[in-house]
Structure 1
Amino acid sequence: MIDVTPQNFLQDEANITSVYNQRSFHLSRQIHVAKTMQEIIPGVYLGPFTAAQKTILIENGINYVICVRQDVEANVIKPQINDPTFAYLTLNIADNVTENIIRFFPKVKQFIDEALSNNCKVLVHSKQGNSRSATLVLAYIMEKFGLTSSEALQFVRTKRATVDPNEGFRAQLIEYEPIYKARQILANGETSQDCRSKRKCEQLTETVDYNLIQRPPSPVSDNHAEISVKVYEDFSDHLYRLLRGS
């Protein structure tokens, strides 16, 4: 027999209310995360294009911005290139499984490394900050700390739970593992066994001194990359084609 006493009815109602409140809290948290940017590693932020507002950038001390968009988004996602306070790298990337995003990894790494070397912070954003820009940050962390794509994804999701690269981008992140390791071997003259980064995952949270903020260089556009970046880009693209058997 079902117990229909008033006391049990009240207890059931309280339990239902508690579950509802928990779900509402998690949903509100996900919405908040999705609409704001998060600091993935010290000095490197990931988020949607709404986080690239000038006031938000200034409040967080961000001088470098990587803006990821495609042509149809150009009227909405507009980098503040005319403002000399910021250094911009604007990349034309579509969020689809056939997009060759791997060719942008070396250029993004150089831009982020330049920002950090100048004791500046950098925001990487796309429209929502979950696929295209997230893939670029994942590739940077992989190469910087010697992580696999799955290790990088697991870590980044602890900072921004909404990160979800499309299937094609995930495949290219996996393909990038031997590419960045091969480049490190060529650059350092190491064996493949020695090439494994000595930096541990715990170092992803190491501190960075932002007290000496320097004026960033003139903005960088997708059409005016430096020669050194082009060499890396061609090298990565060549290895990418070899791995895919094309």
Structure 2
Amino acid sequence: MSSDSSLGEVPMSLDSQSPYVRTQEYISTPRYSNLSGTPGGPPYRVPYGIGNNDSDNSTVIVDAKIFNRDTHDFAEGDFVCQGFFNRVDLGGFTRRFNVSQWNYEMRRQAQSVLPFLSLGPLSCLRDIEYVRSQGFTLLLAIRSRKSAPARLVSGDKAAAAAGIMADTVDVLDNQELISEFPRAIRRINDHLAGEDENPNAMVLSGLQQKRKVLVFCESGNERSAAVVIAYVMVMLNINAAEATYMIQQRRFCASIEDPMKRILAAFESILSAKRDVERARHTIPPHIAATLAPPSSSPILTKKRSFQDHRNDDHLMDDDEMEVDGDGDPFFERKPSAPFQDRVV
């Protein structure tokens, strides 16, 4: 900075007598974030400034798509229960969020990802009044199966004190998360639709209490963040890079490292294949789809004969029926040989 008696401090780029030379023009086009890190793979290019800013710059509209049964690319029963779209307020599936300044203390609290879904650490459950004030009705823990018996990561105590529900998704390691994503997503959606029959659900004026799920792990930055990212990928039909960016904008301390990014990328491929299957199922005429049904079990199709079956056949053969001369056997004259033989020099 250089000082001027009339203008005070001014940036060096605005000082005509400054030796500073601008090396890059400042432009208003979106900057990009490399969220990949996969060796040899293309980087995820996600613009920081996705969406349109309101005049007060307090709200960012990332996507205005309407969420309903037609925009959900998966069959009912995979990630949502039957009748889900008639029992849940679909207005909560939005990517609109308020932009707020992140501070270090916020890592100990839960952040709202969707109106009915929050992500946070285990430590936020120590304050029961905080749990009640946030309106949580389900505390879903994502934890290691090895430490599960010790119940170090559990929402049971806080749920009992607040009069709400608690559940867990246990995995052996992060790699097993990819097989547990569908169950975790279905667990969240079953709670939203009331499939879990919450005994503590209150009914006021004929309306059921609004349901809200807190997904947490020990830090709220790793496994639980990956589950929430997978949920957003499925329910909002976005790819892993966009979902990761969306979660990190809400919980800035979420740590999605390269191995977890590869797991999410693999889950994205699985979702893509499921979408293709579902689209093909809807495009094939019903009379043709009926002919493509999997074949029913038939007694003609038997399992491979075992060694015991061959031995029983040998016992049933009479002595005079046994072949002793090798007629018809092209390998009868073949003599056994060792696998290795010395060479004569």
TM interval, shorter chain, is: 0.5 to 0.7
**CA offset digits 1:209-230 (Å, max 9, x no partner):** xxxxxxxxxxxxxxxxxxxxxx
Specify the alignment match of 1:221 in structure 2: none
Instruction: Give the deviation of 1:52 after TM superposition.
Output: 2.6
C-alpha distance in structure 2 between counterparts of 1:65 and 1:150, whole Å: 26
Q: Deviations over 1:188-232 (max 9, x none)?
A: 6347xxxxxxxxxxxxxxxxxxxxxxxxxxxxxxxxxxxxxxxxx
Aligned to 1:31: 104
**How far apart are residue 169 of structure 1 and its match?**
1.7
The equivalent residue for 1:62 is 136
Mean Cα displacement is larger for which, 78-87 or 120-129? Answer: 78-87
Shift in alpha-carbon separation, 1:168–1:100, aligned structure 2, 3 A: farther
5+ residue gaps in structure 1?
12-27, 192-246
Matched, 1:79 2:155: yes
The answer to whether structure 1 residue 150 and structure 2 residue 231 are counterparts is no
Letter in 2 for 1:102: I
| DSSP-derived class of the 1:124 partner | strand
SS state at 2:220 partner: coil
Distance in 1, matches of 2:275 and 2:165, equals 27
Match of residue 340 from structure 2? none
Determine helix, strand or coil for the equivalent of 2:186: helix
Greater Cα radius of gyration, structure 1 or 2: 2
1:80/1:86 contact within 8 Å kept: no
SS at match of 2:137: strand
- 1:92 is aligned to 2:170: yes
What is the rounded CA distance, in whole Å, between the counterparts of 2:172 and 2:108 in structure 1?
Answer: 20
Structure with the bigger percentage of helix: 1
| Count of equivalent residues | 168
- Conserved in 2, the CA contact under 8 Å of 1:95 and 1:166? no
Q: Which residue number in structure 2 is paired with residue 134 of structure 1?
A: 225
TM-score by length of 2: 0.43
Q: CA deviation at 1:48?
A: 0.3
Residues 187, 164 of structure 1: alpha-carbon distance in 2 compared, 3 angstrom cutoff: same
Which whole-Å deviations, capped at 9, do the CAs of 1:12-33 have from their partners, x for residues lacking one?
A: xxxxxxxxxxxxxxxx944222
SS at match of 1:100: helix
1:177 maps to which residue? 268
| Cross-structure match for 2:115 | 42
Measured in 2, the distance between the counterparts of 1:182 and 1:190 equals 15
Corresponding residue SS for 1:162? coil
Structure 2 counterpart of 1:14:
none
**Matched residue of 2:259: which SS?**
helix
CA distance in structure 2 between the aligned counterparts of 1:95 and 1:59, rounded to whole angstroms: 33
| In structure 1, distance between residues paired with 2:131 and 2:232 | 22
Higher relative contact order (CA 8 A, sep 6+): 1
Structure 2: which amino acid aligns with 1:52?
L
Shift of 1:104: 1.0
**Worse overlay, 39-48 or 70-79:** 70-79
Determine helix, strand or coil for the equivalent of 2:156.
coil
2:186 matches 1:110: yes
Letter in 1 for 2:215: V
Partner of 1:62, secondary structure, is coil
Q: Structure 2 unaligned runs (5+)?
A: 10-100, 195-209, 284-345
Moved over 4 A (4+): none
Q: Distance in 1 between matches of 2:103 and 2:173?
A: 21
Normalising by structure 1, we get a TM-score of 0.59
Instruction: Write the distance in 2 (CA, Å) between the matches of 1:41 and 1:124.
Output: 12
